[in-house]
Amino acid sequence: MRGSDDQNGSLFSYVNLEERIPARHPLRKIKAVVDAALVTLDADFAGLYAGEGRPSIAPERLLRASLVQILFSISSERQLMEQLQYNLLFRWFVGLGIDEPVWVPTVFSKNRDRLLNTDIARKFLAAILAHEKVAPLLSNDHFSVDGTLVEAWASFKSFRPKEAEGRDPPPPDVGNTGGKNMTETSAKTEAADGAVEMTKAETTEIGRNVERDWRGQKWSNATHVSITDPDARLYRKAKGRPAQLCYMGHALTENRHGFVVEAELTHADGTAERRAAITMIDRASPGSTRRITVGADKGYDAAEFVEELRTMCVTPHIAAKAKGSAIDGRTTRHAGYKLSQRKRKLAEEPFGWGKTVGPLAKTMLRGLERVGAQFTLTMTAYNLARLPRLLATT
């Protein structure tokens, strides 16, 4: 008998949302770990909210929704809210019932900003790693460290000269001047006595797009700053590579399965990787007298850094430079050194995942604090994405 194509909506639904999610879906294992970790953060969440007033969005739902956005490569909060309207899987993971209304995107963003700080993100990462099913997967003795660039949400045209003493700041490149041409002070040079001298360069503004003459101008973080994101820094990864406004993200991974155990975001400069490595190692094993190993690439092969690691009871399994290396035979002669050199490549995988699946290829947030929280949350999502397969083999 042929069924009828009746498209009238039902007035009531009697199916539990939990029953609509397949029993073997990977998100089930992820949600169990996330829910257990969020319970341990209850006291931290309570300190962020006032005791009176209108209830806001539950912080647990905000973090679950943020994880969904990262895990499923949803590019904006508006698209996330749209998907929550009809995607039952996302509703179930976040904790929304079938009949519960979805939040307005701006309301969601405003509430999420309360949680968008590195302290909560780090505690969330630590709570995930401390879970009874995750902790046995981690190595406590052998680690690797690496860094990557995170492109800032700022155009190179926003990189303007800083205000000189006694001079007015240059006008911003925003607004519509009706297509008129204009001249502006747009470059600086340093005199012999260190004073900043202003020079003029012709620019043509057409609507919001500004044509600028870059020839003969020196650009430096000491003399220029982005008016869009003042925390971003102009940085060149290597000779022959273009300079860009960016941040530098760092991750400390354990060598057993490559889980990220510590994450840090800093300003981009030539020594940021080594400084961040010391900070993350000290946070992961504060004041420990138990010897651990840390693998890294040649960029970390600096005498002061290696010496500091050794004073921290850390064996530096760092790739040695061809000339002037601080790594000698007392380290390279051991079989563990070669093993660490193979395992240290695991530290690069979270960055690749964060830039293809996650939002780290070019962040849409501004400011060191907010981008840092996003970076740490992305590293947490990377750990969670690997859990279902690893837990299935244990």
Is 74 among the domain residues?
yes
Task: Specify whether 268 is located in the same domain as 352.
Answer: yes
- Number of domains composing the chain: 3
8 Å CB contact between 61 and 111: no
Is 110 among the domain residues?
yes
Task: Check residue 215 and give its pLDDT.
Answer: 73
Task: Specify whether 85 is located in the same domain as 44.
Answer: yes
Is 377 among the domain residues?
no
Which residues in the chain come in under a pLDDT of 70?
2-4, 6-14, 164-210, 212-214, 287-288, 394
Residue 204 belongs to domain spanning: 156-228
pTM: 0.85
Long-range contacts of 260-265 (CB under 8 A, 24+ apart): 260/125, 260/350, 260/379, 260/380, 260/382, 260/383, 261/129, 261/138, 261/143, 262/125, 263/121, 263/122, 263/125, 263/375, 263/376, 263/379, 264/372, 265/118, 265/150, 265/368, 265/371, 265/372, 265/375, 265/376
* CATH number of the domain that residue 356 is part of: 3.30.420
Task: Specify whether 269 is located in the same domain as 183.
Answer: no
Could you give the C-alpha distances from 256 to 19, 125, 233, in angstroms and in order? 36, 18, 34
Task: Specify whether 207 is located in the same domain as 304.
Answer: no
Task: Specify whether 224 is located in the same domain as 311.
Answer: no
Task: Check residue 210 and give its pLDDT.
Answer: 66
Alpha carbon of residue 60 to chain centroid:
20
Task: Check residue 146 and give its pLDDT.
Answer: 96
pLDDT, tens digit, for every residue of 356-374? 999 999 999 999 999 999 9
Task: Specify whether 21 is located in the same domain as 61.
Answer: yes
Task: Specify whether 287 is located in the same domain as 204.
Answer: no
